[in-house]
Structures are given as C-alpha cells and as structure tokens.
Chain A
Amino acid sequence: MDLNRLPNDKKLQLCRWYFKVGCVFLPFVWAVNAIWFFREAFLKSPFEEQKQIKKYVLLSASGALVWAVALIAWVTVFQLQRASWGATGDALSFIVPLGRA
C-alpha cells in the first residue's frame, strides 16, 4: 500500500490499528509499523495527526526492540545451555538433534 496516496486521518487509523494488533504478542507487526510509518512520523513536514503517529511509531519501535532483545537473549541462552539443562532442555526442544548432546 502506498502511504502517499492515503489521507492523513487514514494514516493515523492504520498506524494505531497496527500498534493494537502488535499488542497481542505480535512484535513483528510492531516492527513493521515502526519502519513503515517512520517517514510519516519524523521526516514529513508536520501535519495534524503526525504527533499521534509519532507516539505510536515510538511505542511500536520500543516494544519491538524489547521483544527483540528478549528473544535474542533467550535464543542465545537456549542454544548455549540446552545440552546442560538435560531433560528440561529436551522437553523445550521441538526438534532434538540426533547424535549429540
């Protein structure tokens, strides 16, 4: 969808909608929202709804970032420590690797 063709009120509606959808544990939607509306929020010449769009973009971005940090931390810890967790590690694994710990 080309944001340039959208009227400003529709942009805000869309941005808010994406933020709300992201609230149900969908950080990728937040990430998309933040990147997609970045230009509208910070680079475009000011318009009425920009302040609110800016708010949603910032919220989405920080939410996505927190998620990313948490996920990366978990994945790192899991990959490094799975073998030493023993039974718990296996129980948490979807695919248990063959032929190694």
Chain B
Amino acid sequence: MYFHIILLLLGALCNKLSISERLHEQIYSSIEGGAACFRRLNGSHQAGCSSANNGAVGVVHFVIDQTDANWLVNNASAGPYMAIVSTMMFNQVIDTFLKQPGNIAGVLLFHNSSLGIFAFSQDSKCPNEYFSGPGSTCSSTESSASVWNERGSNLMRQDIPFPIFFLPESRLDEIKKIEECFQRFNRDIDNQNGRPLCSVQMHSFMFAAVDSTVCMRRSASSALITSAKVCDPLGDHNVYYSLLPLSKDTKKQVVMVTARIDSASLFDGMSPGAASSAVGMVTLITAAATLSQMIPAGKTYDKNVLWTLFNGETFDYIGSQKVAYDMRHGEWPSVAPLGFDDVVLYLELGQIGGSLLTHMEDDDWPLNIFAPIGANNLDVVSDIVNDMNVNLKLFNMSLQLTSTHNLPPSSLHSFRRTLQDIQEEKYGKNHSLADVNLDNVMPQMVLVDHNDHYTNMYYNSALDEYSKIGFDYHNISIGNDGTFISTKDLIANGTMKRTDSQVKISRLATAVARTLYKRVVGESYTGNVTASAHLVDEMLYCFLKSQACRLLLAADYAKSGSGEENLPEKPAPLYVGVAAWPGTAPVFAGHLLALLTGTHLKANRTQCEAMDKVQYSYYWLRGWNHSGVCIQTTMNFSQAISPAFTISNYDFTSGEFSTWTESVWRELWVRVFVSAGGGGARAAGIAGALVTVMAAVVTYWLRTRARYIFVDTPTGSLVSGDAATGILRTVNC
C-alpha cells in the first residue's frame, strides 16, 4: 500500500519536472523590446524617470481617453496603477498624471500609427533656451512668446515621479498580451478590490540624483565601500574635415559649414532623429563630398572650407561649446588652430527635414536662412543668399532670408555667446556695442526649413523616424570604384522622382557645394558635378534604417581577420551618450567623410599605418570592394565634452557651459503578472498570528504546571560528580 503511494508521488514529481518550467516563469511574463525613460541631470536639476530600487508595481489599466485618466487619478481604488497609454493620448494624459501622481505607479507607452498622431516632441518649446546667444527672444515660460518647437511638451527636462517605458510599433504584440490579461482579470473596474488583478512591474532604478554637482561628487568620492560611479558626463566626438589641408604656416581664411550629429528622446536607445539631425548631417556630408569632386586636386586657394559635425548639441550645445571654448584659447583644430577672425563665413545646416513630408507632392522644399545682419556683413550674407538662391532655382527650390538676431536653436549660439564674452571682456558690459560687433567678427547664417515654428512635429522624439521625412529606400548597388548614379540619370530612367526626399536633399547639397565653390575659387562653377541622390539614398538608409548598409560596410575599419563582421541591422543610435564610450554615429560620419573625400592611396596596410604627414590622417578602411584601402584624409575627430567637466573647480550652477550627465543604472525591464487578490495573504497572516498566540498560551500553561507534569525530574543529578561541577564552573565563568 505504502509502496504504491510513494510510486504515485514519484510519478507526479517526474511529471512536474518534465514540464521543467520554473515557478518564476509560470508567474511572470516578460515584456521585451521596451525602452525605458531614464534619468539625466544638469547643474540644477534631475530630469527623467526612475523606479524604486525594487521596481514599481501597479494594476494594469488601459487609458483610451481622458475619462480613463481622470478615473485613474481620482476614483480608482485598487491602486497604484500602471497606465497603458498610446502615443496619441500621451501628451494629454501625462499632464493629468503629473499633477496627481499619487495613484500612478508607472506608464507603459506604446505606439500604434494606425491610431493616428500628428505631433510628438518631449523637448522644450525653446530647445536649449538657457544657452542661447544674445538677441534670442524665445521663452518657454512666457505664454505670449513665439516659440520654435510649438509641440514640445518639455517632458525631457522634467523630473517625472514614476517610471515610463516605451514600446515601439514593432512590439505591439506585447500590448496585445497585456490587453488579454487586462480583459480577463481587470474588466470589472468597480469591483477590483480584493480580486486577483493583472499587474505590471517596471524596474528602472537610477543611481544618480539631485543634480550633476552631487552625482559627479559621489562618483568621484573615494569612500571605502561605495566608490561606484553614479553618473557620467554626456559627450562624444565632433567630426571635422577641411577641403584643403590645414597648416600652421599658411593661414587661410576659412568658411565653416556645420551641422549636428545627435538627436535624443526621453527613452533609452530610441533617438532616430530623422528630421531632427540626420537630414542636416547627410546634407553636409554629401555637400562636402560634392565640393571635393568639384575642386581640382592639387590646386591651392587662399580660402578653405571646414566642414564640422557637432555632437551633443541637443544637450545645451556640448560639441560646439567645446569647439568655441577651444578656439578662444587657440586650441582648435589641433593641427592649425583657428581664431574667430579667420572664419569669414559661418553657415549652419540647422533644423532641416521637417517640411519634406508636407512637400511630397511638389518639387519645392522651401528653405529659410536666418542671419543677424549688420552693416559690415551685409555684402557677404546677401552674396551667399543670392548664389544659393540661383543654384536652388535651377531645381525649382526656394530660399528666403530672414534678417534677425532671434536665431533658431543652433550651434551658432555657442559661438555668439563666446564672442559676446570676448567683447564684454574688452569693452565692459555694454550690450548694444557688443551686439553690433558680434555680427561682424564672422558673418553668420543658419539654414533651416521652417519660419517661426519648426515644421518638424517630432523634434527630438522616439517617433522621428525615416517615415517622417518620407524616406523610401531604393536599394541601388554602388559601383566597385565607388561611383554613384547621378541624380539626373536616376530621374531620367524613372528610378526616382523629383519629389523624392533623396533628390531634394541631393539638390540642396549641390547648391551648397556650388555656392561654396564660388567662395573658394572666386568664380561660378561651370562643370557638371552634382550631388547624387543615390549617395543620399544610401546614407539615409545607413543612419535611419540599418547599419548593415553598403556605405558603412565600405567605411568600416578593415579587420585583420578574413571573416566579414556583421553590423547590426538597426540604425546607429544618434543619442550622444556618455563620454566614457565612443559612439558609432560620429565614427561612421567621420569615416564616410574620409571615404568619400579622401585620397585613396596605393599602399598596403603596414605602409598605410606608417604614414605620418602632419596635415593628414590615415585610415585603413574596407573600401568599396571590401579588400581594404588606405585613405589619406584631412578628416579628424575632436572631443565633444563640455568644458564644465574639464575646467577644474568649475561651478556647475554658473550656467556658462552644458552640465548634462546621465545616471548609471543596473537593469531595465518590464514584466506582467497576475497579482493575488490579497485574501490568501491575509488568511496566512491571521493564521500565523493565531498560532503564535496559542503557542504562547500553551507555553505559559505548561510553565505554571511544570511541577505537576514533570514530577520525576531528578534535581541536582547533573552537578553531583566533582568533574561535572568543575565543568559547570568553567562554563559559568
């Protein structure tokens, strides 16, 4: 009989083991592919989200409209709750949640484009407002002021008291999973108390707190136990490339053309930045490549063009602040430092790409140049605008000039602030004088595709994807020698249309290159070199869709092994990241510049690495046919780290330089499970208390009656022997 029972038990055990699922996995279901909102800090505040150390738990509730949100913060009783919100509703309901966060454990944000959305930006209404140069009037606090980023909710710069995770559209099945669970357990919203409920747990605990001063101090402190880093400064690398070699001996006047590399969003690893930064960067690289083909090799001119890509601009202009600071101290570029007087023109490719989508049906791409015009730079600016206009008119594109001191957010602000500083040092704080002189030191222009407000409705957000600039990849192969099909041929054979974004960007690049050609050479360009929409197509694909693309495969470092290393099939992250690691985006941008503009030398790897002409850098890249090629280039990298972190004893509250840091975290995850109604736990608690009380009563009863129960206890028998007494004494003493 017993044997049978044991067999039965063993059988049951084996059966359970064969399912071999751990209890943990039976309870929790992990939500994969979510991107967490994380914490960033500046000199005075902390911004972003953090969960508690052991995560945040809340009952699932789908917020379909404002009524649901109101119910959550006012009437829901089984809280705290995890609000599941679509991107469409997010801007609206997040305000409600932030005003009354008591009942909100966290927010799970998902994107479903079929719900429709027309604007989504968590950046400020006036991006980098507090680091704007003189003359800026954008104010995010005054409601009457005209603002650049009208749709900005400023959430990225706010301290959010609960965690938020973002699920991209590709992960919609996870939302379906949660919805099934929700429908099964939480449907009856009036009687949720005391029932098993579908719940979500989020873990995104951030180590850093308060502000950059505190977290940098704690990271540096050499405490005995906690010497762990809690935050890192944001930063990476700037990329610059000069048309002609820079040299200390023959100082040339320089035209600076700039754009920014980085974008950002509230969420980790989700900063596609299509219209925010990628279009500007691609235009710059394409224009640089085009101009290098227009200028005959070996000729010298007394003007040079310095193409510069700044990084970290989203966070109070990290890259350009560093460059402006170094230029002021005669340290940039390191080969042949420039002064502000050497810059005869500063042209920035600013916020462009936002209006591409609205002009998908016509040839036009209305561009705008913002320039602070004074008496001395009027000629230069109007010359450039005229030239550019002529070049753009050829392609039915238009350009207008806005003369103003209220410049849109751009790297130029860093230079204007530095110039103002220099002026004030010279003449004292006479602003009107400073203002006049400011515009004369270097003629400044910012090229954008908006007027008073951004046309980019997704500025620095997780939804600023390739579709927002109407990009449709054509996938045309590149010749073995790196030749691209010209825009003209592509349109002639019907591969592309004049309305395609690639075509428009290539035409803008052509116009920029031709305008600069005239500045450098002194006469209009008469040749037939134009920027290729094919190149633009490939480059946009690399930055917006997949790093495993033709251009980056050719521009990657050639590895010593024979095996082809696979680049990930996702876009390179454009978020600047922490300065501790070099980012992929600036490396790719730099290598592309080198590959497209540099001289391809006939040298093998060892010869290549041994070359050391001062004005050049040498890179051994894979090349167009992937066999390795030695490239001699004037492209170089420079640090993009805010001077705040390099100046010793810098006061982080002074507001002079960017002070952004990013918190360290250990892990980020979300999981869904059904939380118990609480009845079982209560029963166990009550039972435990009862048993304890009963045990106490019984013990007391036994004690009082010990005399009658343990009658035969031999007293003193233990200490009868001499040896035993000795032992007891020893123990006692």
0/1 interface trace, chain B 164-196, chain A, CB 8 Å (1 if under): 000000000000000000000000000000000
Instruction: Report yes or no: A96 in contact with B226, Cβ–Cβ below 8 A.
Output: yes
Instruction: Report yes or no: A99 in contact with B209, Cβ–Cβ below 8 A.
Output: yes
Shortest Cβ distance from residue B106 to the other chain A in the assembled complex, whole angstroms: 16
- Chain A residues within 8 Å of B53, by CB: 98-99
Within 8 A of B (CB), among A63-101: 86-87, 90-91, 93-96, 98-101
Known contacts A2-B732, A90-B217; is-contact A95 B225 (Cβ 8 Å): yes
Bound: A99/B226 CA distance, A = 13
Q: Which residue of A lies closest to B39 (CB)?
A: A99
Tell me, yes or no, whether B223 is within 8 Å of chain A by CB: yes
Instruction: Report yes or no: A94 in contact with B224, Cβ–Cβ below 8 A.
Output: yes
- Count A interface residues, CB 8 Å: 15
Q: Which residue of B lies closest to A83 (CB)?
A: B210
Q: Which residue of B lies closest to A93 (CB)?
A: B223
Tell me, yes or no, whether B733 is within 8 Å of chain A by CB: yes
Bound: A70/B395 CA distance, A = 83
Bound: A96/B210 CA distance, A = 13
0/1 interface trace, chain B 534-562, chain A, CB 8 Å (1 if under): 00000000000000000000000000000
Shortest Cβ distance from residue A53 to the other chain B in the assembled complex, whole angstroms: 19
Bound: A96/B224 CA distance, A = 11
> How many pairs of residues, A versus B, come closer than 8 Å at their CB atoms?
38
Within 8 A of A (CB), among B216-250: 217-218, 221, 223-226, 230
Tell me, yes or no, whether A43 is within 8 Å of chain B by CB: no
Instruction: Report yes or no: B209 in contact with A90, Cβ–Cβ below 8 A.
Output: no
Known contacts A93-B223, A96-B226, A99-B208; is-contact A1 B217 (Cβ 8 Å): no
- Chain A residues within 8 Å of B50, by CB: 99
Tell me, yes or no, whether B478 is within 8 Å of chain A by CB: no
- Chain A residues within 8 Å of B225, by CB: 94-95
Instruction: Report yes or no: A96 in contact with B221, Cβ–Cβ below 8 A.
Output: yes
Instruction: Report yes or no: B223 in contact with A94, Cβ–Cβ below 8 A.
Output: yes
Bound: A91/B205 CA distance, A = 24
Known contacts A90-B217, A93-B223, A94-B224; is-contact A99 B207 (Cβ 8 Å): yes
Shortest Cβ distance from residue A93 to the other chain B in the assembled complex, whole angstroms: 7
Instruction: Report yes or no: A96 in contact with B208, Cβ–Cβ below 8 A.
Output: no
- Chain B residues within 8 Å of A5, by CB: 732
Instruction: Report yes or no: B207 in contact with A90, Cβ–Cβ below 8 A.
Output: no
- Chain A residues within 8 Å of B733, by CB: 1
Instruction: Report yes or no: B732 in contact with A1, Cβ–Cβ below 8 A.
Output: yes
Instruction: Report yes or no: A99 in contact with B205, Cβ–Cβ below 8 A.
Output: yes
0/1 interface trace, chain A 7-31, chain B, CB 8 Å (1 if under): 0000000000000000000000000
Instruction: Report yes or no: B732 in contact with A90, Cβ–Cβ below 8 A.
Output: no
Bound: A44/B692 CA distance, A = 37
Tell me, yes or no, whether B206 is within 8 Å of chain A by CB: yes
- Chain B residues within 8 Å of A2, by CB: 732
Shortest Cβ distance from residue A85 to the other chain B in the assembled complex, whole angstroms: 12
- Chain B residues within 8 Å of A96, by CB: 218, 221, 223, 226
Shortest Cβ distance from residue A24 to the other chain B in the assembled complex, whole angstroms: 24
Tell me, yes or no, whether B214 is within 8 Å of chain A by CB: yes
- Chain A residues within 8 Å of B208, by CB: 99
- Chain A residues within 8 Å of B221, by CB: 90-91, 96
- Chain A residues within 8 Å of B210, by CB: 101
Shortest Cβ distance from residue B478 to the other chain A in the assembled complex, whole angstroms: 49
Shortest Cβ distance from residue B161 to the other chain A in the assembled complex, whole angstroms: 12
Shortest Cβ distance from residue B562 to the other chain A in the assembled complex, whole angstroms: 46
Q: Which residue of A lies closest to B210 (CB)?
A: A101
Q: 13 extra interchain contacts, Cβ-Cβ under 8 A, other than A2-B732, A99-B208, A99-B209?
A: A5-B732, A86-B214, A87-B217, A90-B218, A96-B221, A96-B226, A98-B230, A99-B53, A99-B205, A99-B206, A100-B209, A101-B209, A101-B210
13 A–B contact pairs at CB < 8 A? A1-B733, A90-B214, A90-B218, A93-B223, A94-B224, A96-B221, A96-B223, A96-B226, A98-B205, A98-B209, A99-B205, A99-B209, A101-B209
> Interface residues, chain A, CB within 8 Å of chain B?
1-2, 5, 86-87, 90-91, 93-96, 98-101
The 4 A-B pairs of least Cβ separation, nearest first, read A98-B207, A100-B209, A101-B210, A2-B732
